[in-house]
Amino acid sequence: MGRVQDKVVIVTGGSQGIGEAIVRRLAEEGAKVIITDISVDQGENLAKELGENTTFIKHDVSNVDDWKNVLNKVDEKYGKVDVLVNNAGISILGSVDEMSEEDYMKNINVNQHSVFYGMKLVKPLMDKAGGGSIINLSSIAGIIGSQGGTGYNGSKFAVRGMTKTAALDYAKDNIRVNSIHPGLIETPILSVLSDEYREILNNSIPMGRIGKPEEIANLTLFLASDESTYCTGAEFVADGGFTVQ
């Protein structure tokens, strides 16, 4: 038996990067995984590769009607949701005085509003399951400031706060809500880094290296499983020690 055997899990932004690693890890441990993403080809190919217990649904997380469509389809197929992983996100950087209102709101709509929609709308399906686990991917940018991060950091700080509030609201219903705060993680976006700049980044991290997507996936697995049944409203940092300096 896997650690999340037969749990019904939704992973937003699940077709690539950290999301893909989470999908693979949960599927490996027996979950029935619903991948949602705007990247249709990648999502469909991943679902096909992982087999019959993995499904892909196209999903713009900033669109409340798309959320309702996803949850209606999951309800029709499984009748419940045990775990929601709010992983989808974007990063548009710019200083306070330079960032456009449009770019600021893109950060907020995708990174913050989507988490609100997911936590609110998944509740009836988690009630059907008798409880569940909501895992919100924030960032160390939700714990510390970073230059040029007015929109991104603002959204990630908000996810941290929303997580704690939802944990209090949902505790009586046996629904746990926690946030994960990754540091720098080895995803395709880092492939453009020069060796020199990569060395600078490695040297800025106490553990001396950039993290792996699988390390975030393993933490997500713990929070999705029944091994974490007394954890709620907490922030789990995985950054190689960067924020303790």
- Catalytic residue set: 152
Tokens of 211: 């993290």
Strand partners, 134: 84, 177
What is the C-alpha to C-alpha distance for residues 66 and 79, in angstroms, rounded to an integer? 18
- Residue 37 burial (C-beta neighbours within 10 Å; 0-12, 13-18, 19+): buried
Strand partners, 237: 181
Instruction: List Cα–Cα distances, 166 to 62, 100, 145, in angstroms.
Output: 19, 30, 24
User: Which conformational region is residue 205 in: left (phi greater than 0), alpha (psi within -120 to 50 degrees), or beta?
Assistant: beta
